[in-house]
Amino acid sequence: MSQVRGVRPDRPTVIATAALLVAIAALIAALGGIAGAAPGQTVVRKVVVRKGMVHKGEIAPGAVTNKAIAHGAVSANKIRKEAITAPKLAKASVTPEAIAADAVTAGAIAPGSIYGGALGQESIVTKPVVDLDAVASNIEWTASNVETALCGPGERLLGGGFAFTNPGNREAAWLQALPVIGGETNGFTGRITTNSGGTAAGEVAAICLK
Over the stretch 102-144, which tens digit does the pLDDT of each residue have? Answer: 777 877 777 777 766 666 889 999 999 999 999 999 999 999 9
156/209 Cα distance (integer angstroms): 5
Cα 99 off chain centre by: 9
Q: pLDDT category, 87, cuts 50, 70, 90?
A: confident
203/164 Cα distance (integer angstroms): 6
Look up the pTM and report it. 0.49
Q: What percent of the chain has pLDDT over 90?
A: 37
pLDDT in the model for residue 24: 67
The phi-psi region of residue 153 (left if phi > 0; otherwise alpha if psi is between -120 and 50; otherwise beta) is: beta
DSSP state of 10: T
Look over the chain and give the mean of its residue pLDDT values, rounded to a whole number. Answer: 79
21/159 Cα distance (integer angstroms): 87
Using the CB atoms, write b or e for 47-58: b if 16+ within 10 Å: eeeeeeeeeeee
Q: Which of 42-56, 75-89, 173-187 has the lowest mean pLDDT?
A: 42-56
Cα 189 off chain centre by: 37
